[in-house]
Structure 1
Amino acid sequence: MNIGSRDFEYRADEVAAKAGFGDELLEFFYRIERENIDVRKGFIAILASTHPYTAYRIENIETFLNGVRQEY
């Protein structure tokens, strides 16, 4: 179930990017990475279990945006 949930998160990120919020979403995830907020223990671990690591989400969004920008 968690793998499917993570896939939904990746797709949701791509939908946000398609809607024009890709750069803002990247900045949000960069900030999380800088602040090291993606800590996986306690309650956060429960939430994180259905969410991909922030670094993977950044990579997915960047790949998606680069593909979209190359089409234009």
Structure 2
Amino acid sequence: MTSSGRVACIANFGIYVDIGGYAALINIPELSWHPIDHPSEVVSLGQEISARILGIDLTLDRVTMSLRALHGDVGTAP
């Protein structure tokens, strides 16, 4: 399942995406198949993105997502 949203926050460990008023987390390893030093190398604040939902934990109020999952494996990434 995929969802679209706007990058609401960029931190050293990943980004938060506003998906309809809810903040979903994309950790650095899920941003790109290629090594990056900071999430700002891949996305910018306010950017509209689509990402695959990896998990929803209602107990902890968490949604985790992956941007790289929509780009195939490392051999096919742009």
What is the TM-score with the length of structure 2 in the denominator? Answer: 0.23
Q: If each structure's helix is expressed as a fraction of its own residues, which one has the higher value?
A: 1
* TM-score (norm: length of structure 1): 0.25
